[in-house]
């Protein structure tokens, strides 16, 4: 892999990736963070691959302009939480708290982002554990562990030994979306695939999942634009 830049206004950063699995040159813009990946077969020269990207430069810039802008987190800003938009204000005491449409953050303002991230992760763990416990009980199959990560390629996963993993950013989504993802991953305890049988289990656990699944497809990427100083 290598980092390159297409000249122009503005320059476009591109990661060049060569792989034996590629049969042709292709470009991909991540919906999560706007990163551009140029993939090509192993024998393709850098010059040929970058020439292909240059031909697509106008298309790249147009789609990059449509990407959601990165948003830093701090006092005076806003953040989604459980599907609502909260305004971040200075708080008192020791704990980050939600009060109506406000997120009260105590302590030094330059530590606000870290405190908010900690609050979101702990709340996500509590809510995802409760949802996973609920659906695992309905299914009659226990899971072995629950971990949180800041994943960019998936919202959750289930391992062969029953371990559940979730993106902590789900706590920013509407509650029904978080619940759907939990039901989806718990369903893998019974069906480790995406067959018709699997979706039947999801329906039995959650109900009609089409709306939250569509929300994740259409709006889930926006949750990744919030940066916490990492």
pLDDT digits (tens, 9 = 90+) for 77-130: 999 999 999 999 999 999 999 999 999 999 999 999 999 999 999 999 999 999
Residues 55 and 129 grouped into a single domain? no
Residues 123 and 217 grouped into a single domain? yes
Residue 16 domain-assigned? Answer: yes
Residues 58 and 120 grouped into a single domain? no
The pLDDT of residue 33: 64
Residues 127 and 204 grouped into a single domain? yes
Element (H, E) at 31: none
Q: DSSP secondary structure string, 121-178?
A: HHHHHHHHHHHHHHHHHHHT---SEEEEE--SS-SEEE-TTSEEEEEGGGGGS-HHHH
pLDDT at 68 over 80: no
Residues 49 and 151 grouped into a single domain? no
The boundaries of the domain holding residue 174 are 111-227
Q: Are the beta carbons of 30 and 37 closer than 8 angstroms?
A: yes
pLDDT at 15 over 70: yes
Q: Are the beta carbons of 34 and 64 closer than 8 angstroms?
A: yes
With pLDDT > 90 as the criterion, what percentage of the chain qualifies?
A: 70
Label residue 4 by pLDDT band (50, 70, 90): confident
Q: 196-206 and 175-187 helices cross at what angle (nearest 10)?
A: 130
What rounded mean pLDDT belongs to the chain?
92
Residue 188 domain-assigned? Answer: yes
Residues 124 and 48 grouped into a single domain? no
Read off the pLDDT of each residue in 16-20 and give the average, rounded to a whole number: 91
The pLDDT of residue 197: 97
Residues 150 and 217 grouped into a single domain? yes
Residues 121 and 217 grouped into a single domain? yes
Q: What is the CATH number of the domain that holds 156?
A: 3.30.2010.10
pTM for the model stands at 0.75
Read off the pLDDT of each residue in 65-82 and give the average, rounded to a whole number: 83
The pLDDT of residue 162: 97
pLDDT at 69 over 80: no
Q: Which of 23-27, 92-96, 173-177 has the highest mean pLDDT?
A: 173-177
Residues 194 and 122 grouped into a single domain? yes
The pLDDT of residue 35: 80
Query: CB under 8 Å to 63, separation ≥6 — which residues?
Result: 29
Residue 72 domain-assigned? Answer: no
Label residue 67 by pLDDT band (50, 70, 90): low
Residues 57 and 121 grouped into a single domain? no
Label residue 166 by pLDDT band (50, 70, 90): very high
What does DSSP assign to residue 45?
A: -
Q: How far apart are CA 40 and CA 46, in angstroms?
A: 9
Residue 95 domain-assigned? Answer: no
The pLDDT of residue 61: 84
The pLDDT of residue 31: 65
Read off the pLDDT of each residue in 210-229 and give the average, rounded to a whole number: 90
- The total of structural domains in the chain comes to 2
Residue 153 domain-assigned? Answer: yes
Residue 93 domain-assigned? Answer: no
The pLDDT of residue 190: 98
């Amino acid at each position: 892999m290598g980092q390159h830049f297409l000249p122009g206004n503005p320059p476009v950063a591109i990661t060049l990736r060569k792989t034996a699995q590629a049969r042709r040159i292709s470009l991909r813009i991540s919906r999560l963070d706007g990163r551009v990946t140029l993939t090509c077969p192993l024998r393709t020269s850098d010059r040929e691959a970058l020439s292909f990207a240059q031909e697509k430069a106008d298309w790249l810039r147009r789609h990059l302009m449509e990407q959601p802008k990165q948003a830093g987190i701090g006092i005076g800003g806003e953040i989604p939480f459980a599907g609502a938009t909260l305004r971040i204000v200075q708080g008192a005491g020791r704990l980050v708290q939600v009060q109506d449409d406000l997120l009260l953050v105590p302590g030094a303002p330059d530590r606000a982002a870290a405190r908010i991230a900690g609050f979101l992760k702990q709340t996500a763990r509590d809510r995802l554990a409760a949802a996973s416990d609920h659906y695992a009980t309905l299914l009659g199959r226990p899971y072995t562990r629950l971990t949180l990560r800041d994943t960019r390629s998936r919202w959750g996963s289930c391992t062969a030994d029953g371990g559940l993993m979730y993106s902590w950013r789900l706590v920013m989504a509407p509650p029904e979306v978080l619940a759907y993802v939990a039901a989806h991953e718990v369903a893998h305890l019974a069906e480790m695939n995406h067959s018709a049988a699997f979706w039947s289990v999801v329906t039995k656990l959650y109900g009609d999942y089409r709306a939250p699944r569509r929300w994740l497809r259409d709006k889930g990427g926006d949750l990744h634009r919030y940066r916490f100083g990492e």
